[in-house]
Structures are given as C-alpha cells and as structure tokens.
A and B are shown apart, each in its own frame.
Chain A
C-alpha cells in the first residue's frame, strides 16, 4: 500500500469524528521504484494532506520530507524526487493502520489493509 492510498483512507468506525489520518504500525516496508511524473505530483500536491504524508513517511523510516511545504517548492527537482518517493514508491507491506480516536488496529497483510468493520462498529 502506497502512502497516497494512506492519504485517502480514514477510520470509518461508527461514532468516530476525526478518523484521519490513520497511524501506521510497521512490520515490513518495501520500495518499488516507478518513473516520476512531475505534472502528476504538482496536481496531487494541492489535494493531499501534507502533514499526514510527512508523519506517515516518518513512520515508515523515511525522514527526507520537510515538515512544511508550499507550492513554490514544486519547482525544485530535489523536492519532487522526495515527494515522489514518499507518495508512490514506499509501500507498507505488513503492519497495521490505527484509528487515531479509538486505537483500533486495521491489519495490513501482503500490502492489503483490512478495513472491514465488526458488527458493533457499523
């Protein structure tokens, strides 16, 4: 699971108000290189929650993203490469996503998060 997917997911347990962003428990991270698409990154920058991406990438052991970012940084190839790596090349292969309100863990196996809810959570 890429961190772009992480940036879209939230805890949907009944009664949870702020289910975003999900915490990350890491057991295994893998990296899969893909070609960088600067226009795509510029478009995504406006849509994603930057802080959630920074925190998620740090959980995954990648500390090269700046705490704060603004759109002027998109002119820097160096910045784009870091952003690209964090957003699309890091994958959570084994571990869990954690609801920020309740601490409930959603397991991630073979890269697939299980977001199914129990009967009393719907």
Chain B
C-alpha cells in the first residue's frame, strides 16, 4: 500500500466525539499516523506479519494503520470505553481485524513475548505528570522487537535517559521531528489551533 493511500484511508476514520481532557484525548492525525506506520514497516519491517499492540489506542488510528499494512494480529488497549467503541466501529468500517482490551495501562500485564511491536501516541503528560513515561515503561516491558512512540521534542533528553537507564532499552533513536496539530478541542485552548513539535521515536528493548 502506498503512503498516500494509507493516509487517505485513515483520514476517513471517526474521531473522539466528546474528548476527555483528563485522558489527554487528542486524535492522531492521518498525516502523522500514516508516516509513523509506513516508516515502521518499510524501514524496519516491524509491522507486516507481526503482532502489534497499540497502547492508549483511542479511536484506533495507529492500530488500524498497522492492520492495513499487513500486521497479522493487532491489539488496541485503552482505558476509555467510548473510545473503544469508536475504534471498533472504525475497524469494521475499514474491514480490518482489531482486538480491543479495556484496561488501565499501568495494570496491564501481557504474558510472554507474543507482542513484537508496540505503537503508541501516549498522553504527553501535561495534565497528569509522568503518564507518558509510564506508557513507555510498559511498552518496553511488553514489546519483543520495537516500540514506536511520539513525545514532545522539548522532552527529548529526558525520554532518552529514561528509556536507556530506567526501562532497559538497548537503543533509543529519534527518527524524525513532526508537527502535531492540536485542534481546538477544549475550552482552555486559547488559540484556534496550535502545532507543537513532536519526535517520532524508535526504541529497541534489550534482548531483541
């Protein structure tokens, strides 16, 4: 599948109808999502025929992108039942299989080394401090091959240190810097739209 085709399909997905600020529910736009998964597949072979988990999957954009690129089994995990319902409808709309689990990431324990790749757009941790690093910790514990994640560019050094020193990653690499459009979703947003710099990371867990 071509990048433009993937982006086009993801552009049709339904997004949060009533986003919850405490969960930092921002949609992952089709531009970022398609590039993230396209890179994971075409540069590293981390998607096709793999078991992929999407942490904090929200409306399922990243997981669905993985399924469209040939992942054999995709599991989306989110704490919010409304998001999971939308994710389920989105998967059905695009006729891909997406297994969904409602769970608090902090309590998640996936057995064995079944998940190859974790993809995620975690909360940035602006409302609940440290939640972004909690996602990364769990992702690196679960993935056997690679973790792809988005983090604010302003936290680059912190993310790198945490991954290598605290979460046992053998490598942590920024693949590219992207502009993340945060649409005007919440009342506390003063501007119509802000775009913030985010890094697309690839982490490799030790032992991979």
Measured in the bound complex, the distance between the Cα atoms of B114 and A117 in whole Å is 23
A73 proximal to B (CB < 8 A): no
- Closest chain A CB from B201 CB (angstroms): 24
Interface stretch (choices A36-44, A56-64, A74-82):
A36-44
Measured in the bound complex, the distance between the Cα atoms of B70 and A39 in whole Å is 14
Interface stretch (choices B31-39, B72-80, B182-190, B192-200):
B72-80
What 0/1 pattern do residues 108 to 135 of B give for CB contact below 8 A with A? 1111111100000000000000000000
Determine the chain A residues whose CB is within 8 A of the CB of B73 once the complex forms.
2, 4-5, 88
Q: Which residue of chain A has its CB nearest to the CB of B49?
A: A40
A17 proximal to B (CB < 8 A): no
Interface pair A7/B111, CB less than 8 Å apart: yes
Interface stretch (choices B93-101, B153-161, B173-181):
B93-101
Measured in the bound complex, the distance between the Cα atoms of B74 and A88 in whole Å is 11
How many A residues are at the interface, by size bracket? 20 to 34
| Interface of A: prevailing SS | loop
Measured in the bound complex, the distance between the Cα atoms of B104 and A8 in whole Å is 16
Interface pair B110/A47, CB less than 8 Å apart: no
Interface pair A37/B72, CB less than 8 Å apart: yes
What 0/1 pattern do residues 6 to 40 of B give for CB contact below 8 A with A? 00000000000000000000000000000000000
Show the binding face of B for A, using Cβ within 8 Å. Answer: 49, 51, 72-73, 75, 79, 81, 84-85, 88, 97, 99-104, 107-115
